[in-house]
Amino acid sequence: MSYWCAATVVDGIVTRAVRITAGTDGRIVDVTAGVPRRDDDIALGVVMPGAGNAHSHAFHRLLRGRTHGAGGDFWLWREAMYAAAARLDPALYREVARAVFAEMLVCGYTAVGEFHYLHHRHDGAAYAEPHAMELALAHAARDVGIRLVLLDTVYLAGGIGAPLEPRQRAFGDGSAEGWLRRWHALDAALPVDGLVTLGAAIHSVRAVSRGDIRTVVDGLPPHVPLHVHVSEQPRENAESLAAYGLSPVGVLAEAGALGPRLALVHATHLSDADVAAVGAAGAQVVICPTTEADLGDGIGPARRLADAGARIALGSDQNAVVDPFLEMRGLEAGERLASGRRGCFDPAALAGAAGAGGYAALGLGPHALAVGDHCDLIEVDTGSVRTAGSALAQLPLSATAADVRRVVVAGRVVADGGILVGAGDGAAGTAGTEPATLLRSAIAAVDGVAAREESR
């Protein structure tokens, strides 16, 4: 399949009249600039690499527009999150995730890292079908055609030195060794199709002890991307210092986790020593600007982390907002508010965090519309009320998800004008569907479960 692009924007460089050809494996086999369109080319306008959503909790989307009236903080919001999690089973989770992944796809995300810890029944018992919840997510991604890195998460404690709370039992596997056994079995059970791959995550130093972190690191293949929530809240830092005499970053370093394959999610409340350690280790950092703003988490030291040597990626996290352009602008806006100056991250760096940074954090390799890269790209409307007059290289600071026209994943068009196209067998059930239709149906189904609970 060949795409003729009026222009591509990669690393801030605008190139005109570009033909991108994808092979049967969905990777780019040829890129030629300055060429006329051929009759067999699919014509696109301005094209950018698709965004890689490096941190998502799909089911948190159920809380959008429902947790803002009472104020509060992260810890109050978490109560509503637990209630939403308790209403999901594999069939319902597939429906919810399919809707959320569809929304991501039409908004410009071509890949998503799902930080997944809803492993078991609500009482902690295993489902009859092994890996039922994990397979639900894999099927949901294939249903719509988005690239998924399933970040299967180890979650063993309800706080440092504390057992899981009753409402957290679905998250646990008993021990780090138990989680590793399940992870390796899941790795063998996931069909190999190039669209869904398996990664790993440590929920946090609150939920996994120092010794168990070491066990997880030693038990995973070295190529597997590893993610972890770090210092999202000051309370996490205080508890870690009280228990270990170390910050969460210090705990990860001591346990052998801190290195190039590790992606630290949030990293909002870091000391200068933490920043230096993360940068020196060449670790990756996933900033989630819209979530961190929505929950009142704070503004993280993204610019200082980048200057220290960390690679920055972006994620939608709780999916209160699904828009890679707003995450890009949120990254820059936070730095402007904290520093009092503009241009902390230039447009090329913002696009790189959303695209190449996200793909790197997910272990998906380079992502620059070059030969050998995944053919995952988006076409952006440059004549809308938001983008008219914008310099093409500055689209990250003017466009929104509403300006995403066509979306290509693995060399095939999977969304066009906000509608799922249905490229490939996995998407057949959603062809021609608007994500809003899927979202309304999924939310209504979850609300039905809640209503039945309340009537008992």
Percent helix, strand, coil in the chain, to 5, is 40, 20, 35
- Residue 78: strand, helix, or coil: helix
Identify the helix (H) or strand (E) that includes residue 239.
helix 234-244
Alpha helical stretches, state H, 53-145:
74-85, 90-107, 132-144
The string over 411-436, giving b where at least 16 C-beta atoms fall within 10 Å of a residue's C-beta and e elsewhere, is: bbbbbbebebbbbbebbeebeebbbe
Asked whether 227 and 189 are in contact (CB, 8 A), the reply is no
Measured between alpha carbons, how far is 200 from 153 in angstroms, rounded to an integer?
6
Amino acid in position 131:
H
Identify the helix (H) or strand (E) that includes residue 380.
strand 377-380
Measured between alpha carbons, how far is 299 from 133 in angstroms, rounded to an integer?
33
State residue 151 phi and psi, 5-degree precision.
-90, 80
The string over 220-244, giving b where at least 16 C-beta atoms fall within 10 Å of a residue's C-beta and e elsewhere, is: beeebbbbbbbbbbeebbebbeebb
Measured between alpha carbons, how far is 294 from 143 in angstroms, rounded to an integer?
30
Strand order, beta sheet including 147-154: 51-56, 109-116, 147-154, 196-202, 226-230, 262-266, 284-287, 311-314
- Any idea which residues carry the catalytic annotation? 266, 317
Could you read off the pLDDT tens digit of each residue along the chain, which spans 456 residues?
Answer: 999 999 999 999 999 999 999 999 999 999 999 999 999 999 999 999 999 999 999 999 999 998 887 777 887 888 889 999 999 999 999 999 999 999 999 999 999 999 999 999 999 999 999 999 999 999 999 999 999 999 999 999 999 999 999 999 999 999 999 999 999 999 999 988 889 999 999 999 999 999 999 999 999 999 999 999 999 999 999 999 999 999 999 999 999 999 999 999 999 999 999 999 999 999 999 999 999 999 999 999 999 999 999 999 999 999 999 999 999 999 999 999 999 999 999 999 999 999 999 999 999 999 999 999 999 999 999 999 999 999 999 999 999 999 999 999 999 999 999 999 974 444 446 778 999 999 999 999 999 998 888 887
Q: What is the pLDDT of residue 231?
A: 98
Strand order, beta sheet including 377-380: 28-33, 13-22, 2-10, 42-49, 377-380, 404-409, 412-416, 419-420
Q: What is the pLDDT of residue 425?
A: 46
State residue 358 phi and psi, 5-degree precision.
-65, -45
Residue with tokens 């597997």: 224
Q: What is the pLDDT of residue 372?
A: 98
Question: What distance, in Å, lies between the first and last C-alpha atoms of the chain?
Answer: 55
- Residue 186: strand, helix, or coil: helix
* Residue whose C-alpha is closest to residue 353's, from 334, 375, 379: 334
Query: Running DSSP on this structure, what letter comes out for residue 410?
Result: T
Across 328-374, the runs of DSSP E, i.e. the strands, are none
Q: What is the pLDDT of residue 429?
A: 63
Measured between alpha carbons, how far is 255 from 54 in angstroms, rounded to an integer?
23
Residue with tokens 């997510």: 137
Query: Running DSSP on this structure, what letter comes out for residue 353?
Result: I
Measured between alpha carbons, how far is 251 from 229 in angstroms, rounded to an integer?
13
Asked whether 151 and 225 are in contact (CB, 8 A), the reply is yes
Q: How far is CA 305 from the centre of its chain?
A: 19
- DSSP for 227-295? EEEESSSHHHHHHHHHHHSS-HHHHHHHTT--STTEEEEE--S--HHHHHHHHHHT-EEEE-HHHHHHT
